[in-house]
Amino acid sequence: MNLTLATPDASHSTEIVPVTHVIFRLGSDLYSLSAATVQFITLMPMSGAARVNGEEVDSLNVRSRLGLPAKETSEIDALILVVTHKNGVAHRTALIVDEVEDVIAAGPIKDPSPYTLRMSPDCVAGTFYIDHKEVTVLDAETLVSPEVKRPSLAA
């Protein structure tokens, strides 16, 4: 996804600014979230709800949300704290992922492949490529929404 910045004076050209994404891994697959929704990234042990600056926030295992098989538990989990909004109210959720890879300016975002949509089409916003590897772009608002149907592991 690229944003076009319009200038107040039409005689100046517009500039294409790539949107920054946080890249993370689930198994061998790469995923991303718009960095605009990410408050911070950390490593910490997880057991139930996360505590951030003394405040308890909901946690969501992204593997289970996407219907992926569970991984062996580790002593330290990678967490991406996202802020989403519903009815004008900010909500913070700690997303549990296998590993955070990088924060990059994403290239052009394309429609997801049918294979990618199979996993959880409601959460997938598109795909882009890094070094010939597909990165699945997830929509943070939909990912954390309790109203969205979760995929079945048996599917």
71, pLDDT greater than 90? no
Q: What is the pLDDT of residue 97?
A: 92
Identify which has the larger pLDDT, 146 or 7: 146
Rg, C-alpha atoms of the chain: 17
Mean pLDDT value of segment 82-110 = 88
pLDDT band for 78, please (50, 70, 90 cuts).
confident
Query: Of the given ranges (2-16, 31-45, 73-87, 123-137), which has the lowest mean pLDDT?
Result: 2-16
Query: Are 42 and 24 contacting, i.e. CB atoms less than 8 angstroms apart?
Result: no
Query: Of the given ranges (3-12, 14-23, 26-35), which has the lowest mean pLDDT?
Result: 3-12
The arrangement of secondary structure in 15-144, i.e. its CATH architecture, is Beta Barrel (2.40)
Distance CA 74, CA 57 (A): 20
pLDDT digits (tens, 9 = 90+) for 30-63: 999 999 999 888 887 766 667 777 788 888 889 8
* Contacts of 13 by beta carbon, 8 Å cutoff, 6+ apart: 7
Identify which has the larger pLDDT, 126 or 49: 126
